[in-house]
Structure 1
Amino acid sequence: MVRFCVFACFFIATSCAWAQSSSTGSWYIYIGSQHLSKKWNWHNEVQYRNYNAVGDLEQLLLRTGLGYNLTPGNNNLLLGYAYIFSEPYVSGTDLKRSVSEHRIFQQFITRQQFSRFYLQHRYRFEQRFIEDTDFKMRYRYFLSVNLPLTNREMVPKTIYLSAYNEIFINNTSPHYDRNRLYGALGYTINKYLRAEIGFMSQALENRHREQVQVVLFNNVPFLKD
């Protein structure tokens, strides 16, 4: 655990220094999912996104939702809401503008395990109400895999590799919105907490963006096991 913490601090410090002198951004993410009962869960999420390491806000995202498991511990249907505050740069200037977005979304998550590979599929449909912009809808497909390295399963004190790809499709032209490709090193702190440090490349319609990501997952249940 100590060796991993030292590595994590070194990785963050190095990444932040690089981000301050390049176009690489930094995303700090918290994702929680708390069991309310054997079938119901509460999703809660905060993402603080920067154009650099810290201090140059790109976007603040707050997301929540209520989910229901169709089978024990799996096949989760969720209805949610998100608020997104963005500060994009005005093209060709150093000036920023503020944009607020309210988003309603529905999603379905299913998980699978093949030997040591932990897979997750997420299908999400979004209805987007963006300030000073027409109403938009978007479809997203997310595929992730976790591979434990120091144990055969994702038990406490396991170092693991994580990767995902997510594609975004608009309901109107241009239909292609973006694609995200991610790779990371993770650590299962205990039964309910794990953390990841990784790098994500985002391909938009006419440009690319890269982000260092620091993620904390919290699954501490409200209902005791």
Structure 2
Amino acid sequence: MKILRSLAAGLIIFGISSFHAQKSDLGAWYMYFGNNKISKKLNWHNEIQYRNFDAGGDLEQLLIRTGIGYDLAENNNNILLGYGFILSQPYANGEKTENIEHRIFQQYITKQKFGRFYLQHRYRLEQRFLEDDFRMRFRYFLGLNIPINNKELVPKTFYASAYNEIFLHFDSPVFDRNRVYGALGYVINKNMRIEAGYMNQIQENRNRGQIQIGFYNNIPFTK
């Protein structure tokens, strides 16, 4: 257990030190994900992501998403309708610019378990209302969690986490980006967990790494 705690602390320390050593090449994403039951079948999704070009302060993107989902099966096969607000501050010719995007999205999530392997498939369709453009995009996410010190993802469990997500446009160019992620997570209790890891984002003309720290809250709003 002490070794696992040391690994978790080491990963976070490595991320913080890397921010200062590679400001131009390594970004940081701080993320909160809420998925809260509001009835037996309905859930409220709420999400905030604060994405930086460096450790903090040089904002790349602020993303806020929310939506209402419905379980087609007990705690599984969830369909959701959502909305996202995205504030981006990219650099153009060395100067900061600002763009605002409004996004409507529909998604389907299904979960599977094979022994110690927890799988999640997410299919998402996005309608993106940019300031001077409208685009549609499809995303497929495949995630995997594997408990380390317990057989199940019960409280006080460390786990390995990985995912791959591909983004495809409905027009040309079809390929938008691909994200590959690996992390170490910890289950705090039955409704909360935390992860720290590294994500590599591949785009047509850019390949950039991100340190990610995410907090997950599934506290139900029902008895």
- The verdict on a shared fold, with TM-score over 0.5 as the criterion, is yes
Which runs of 4 or more aligned residues in structure 1 lie more than 2 Å from their structure 2 counterparts after TM superposition?
A: 1-14
TM-score by length of structure 2 reads 0.95
- Find the aligned partners of 2:31 and 2:88 in 1 and give their Cα distance: 16
In structure 2, what residue type is equivalent to 1:122? R
Pick the aligned partner of 2:83 from 50, 65, 81.
81
Structure 2 counterparts to residues 142-161 of structure 1, below 5 A: 142-161=141-160
- What percent identity do the matched residue pairs reach? 57
Structure 2 residue 39 is matched with structure 1 residue 37: yes
- Find the aligned partners of 2:65 and 2:85 in 1 and give their Cα distance: 6
In structure 2, what residue type is equivalent to 1:32? G
Partner of 1:206: 205
Which runs of 5 or more residues in structure 2 are unaligned?
A: none
User: Which shifted more, 11-20 or 188-197?
Assistant: 11-20
Q: Secondary structure at the match of 2:90?
A: coil
Give the structure with the larger strand fraction.
2
Q: What whole-Å deviation, never above 9, does each CA across 1:85-112 have from its counterpart, x for those lacking one?
A: 0000003x2x110000000000000000
Partner of 1:46: 48
C-alpha contact (below 8 Å) 2:37/2:44 kept by paired residues: yes
Change in CA separation of 1:2 and 1:35 when aligned onto 2, cut-off 3 Å: farther
Q: Secondary structure at the match of 1:189?
A: strand
Partner of 1:113: 113
- Find the aligned partners of 1:2 and 1:87 in 2 and give their Cα distance: 41
1:19 to partner: Cα distance = 1.4
- Find the aligned partners of 2:2 and 2:219 in 1 and give their Cα distance: 23
Q: Secondary structure at the match of 2:91?
A: coil
Q: What whole-Å deviation, never above 9, does each CA across 1:88-146 have from its counterpart, x for those lacking one?
A: 0003x2x1100000000000000000011000000000000011x21000000000000
Q: Secondary structure at the match of 1:20?
A: helix
CA-based RMSD of the aligned residues comes to 1.4
Q: Secondary structure at the match of 1:45?
A: strand
Change in CA separation of 1:6 and 1:116 when aligned onto 2, cut-off 3 Å: closer
1:9 to partner: Cα distance = 4.4
Structure 2 counterparts to residues 1-225 of structure 1, below 5 A: 7-22=7-22, 23-91=25-93, 93=94, 95-131=95-131, 133-224=132-223
- Find the aligned partners of 2:3 and 2:190 in 1 and give their Cα distance: 20
C-alpha contact (below 8 Å) 1:17/1:53 kept by paired residues: no
